[in-house]
Amino acid sequence: MTLLVGARVLDPDTGETSRADVRLDGDRITEVGPGLDGDGRVDCAGGLLIPGLIDCHVHVAFPRPEPLPRSARVLEAVPVLRKLLARGITTVRDAWGADAGMRHALREGWITGPDLLISLRQLSPTGGLGDSWEPPAGAVDHFGDPSLPDPLYDGPDAARAAVRRMVRAGADWIKVGASGAMRAVRAGVDVRPTDEELVALVDEARRCGRDVLAHAHTSVAVVSAARAGVRSVEHGTFLDDEAVAALGNAWYVPTLVPNHDGEFAADHRRSVRLAAEAGVRIAAGSDLAPRPMST
């Protein structure tokens, strides 16, 4: 048994810190309190010990821009996961890109990293955020990986089937694109799911024991997703009073990456302030993708 002594320890329930010892058995914390016994002592005087952090929105594995074998995407995630853990993040929710094999490798100890919750792909209607389409070539699957199923649906029944495909492939969460990407919002070509599709998708996820996170930049998308019953709304760049009111039963994950969408940074900050002042529950999510993390 090893003791960490002399540091102040944060109680996340109260936000208060107090001086306490932390007993370790191997890589596990077994007890926290004053005056503990242990075989070895590590002097942490002047330090602050906090529980592991949770990042509710990451992407540890994206398809690479160059044509490489599937293994490149997987292997790139290994140092990303290791660096996340080294920074004190012990649980991450991957908002699409990671598959069940990565989660399995972490649980088996083949690679080092935080606990990984996966959503596989971003569900969307044809023409929406999850639809990879390039005008010269048509439909393009940048993954080409059977462990990441087809995310497209059109109509409520097809939305239910898409949820089932993700659950079958091991998804912990279901990710839906309730709005397009920022470039689509800018261009005025924001293809969104219908309210009926969203309701069916959320209902099917619940039947399968899963919650839904919704990518939503615009207020109209936030309102639709929240009213459909999603558990969390991601980004929420352009919130208004109606959207904030709709978020009463959902979490808001604003994904405040410093280098993202500088053009709309002021709008995003205003949305966060509006939500905080209204008492909306806000969770931390970075939206960090693997390219910056792997350098």
Predicted pLDDT of residue 37: 85
**What is the CATH classification number for the domain harbouring 269?**
3.20.20.140
Domain co-membership, 167 together with 25: no
- Mean pLDDT (whole number) for 119-128: 94
pLDDT at 155: 98
pLDDT digits (tens, 9 = 90+) for 87-114: 999 999 999 999 999 999 999 999 999 9
Query: What are 33-73's pLDDT values in tens digits?
Result: 998 988 889 999 999 999 999 999 999 998 776 777 888 88
Q: Are residues 148 and 269 in the same domain?
A: yes
CB neighbour list of residue 245: distance below 8 Å, 6 or more residues apart: 278
41 and 139 share one domain: no
Sign of CA dihedral 283, 287, 290, 291: negative
CATH code at position 7: 2.30.40.10
The pLDDT assigned to 141 comes to 67
pLDDT attached to residue 134? 67
Q: Are residues 114 and 100 in the same domain?
A: yes
Give the integer Cα–Cα distance in Å for 256 and 284.
9
- Mean pLDDT, range 202-218, rounded to an integer: 98
Shared domain for 31 and 68, answered yes or no, is: no
Bigger pLDDT: 262 vs 289: 289
Q: What's the CA gap between 158 and 163, in Å, rounded?
A: 9
Task: Return mean pLDDT, the chain.
Answer: 90
pLDDT at 145 over 70: yes
Percent with pLDDT over 70 in the chain = 91
Say what the pLDDT of residue 295 is: 46
In this structure, are residues 74 and 111 in contact, taking their beta carbons and an 8 Å threshold?
no
Going by C-alpha positions, the residue among 204, 72, 207 that lies closest to residue 142 is: 72
Same domain, yes or no: 45 and 58: no
Q: Which residue range is the domain that position 71 belongs to?
A: 53-293
Q: Could you tell me if 259 and 173 lie in one domain? A: yes
Residues in contact with 293: Cβ distance below 8 Å, sequence separation at least 6, in sequence order: 60, 79, 80, 83, 84
Model confidence pTM above 0.85: yes
Region of poorest pLDDT, from 124-133, 209-218, 272-281: 124-133
Whether 35 and 131 share a structural domain: no
Between 94 and 295, residue with greater pLDDT: 94
Task: Note whether 32 and 121 are same-domain residues.
Answer: no
- One domain, residues 82 and 165: yes
The verdict on 20 and 166 lying in the same domain is: no
Judge whether residue 259 has pLDDT over 70: no
Q: How many domains does the chain have?
A: 2
pLDDT reported for residue 224: 98
The per-residue pLDDT for 291 is 62
Give residue 155's region: left, alpha or beta (phi > 0; psi -120 to 50): left
25 shares its domain with 131: no
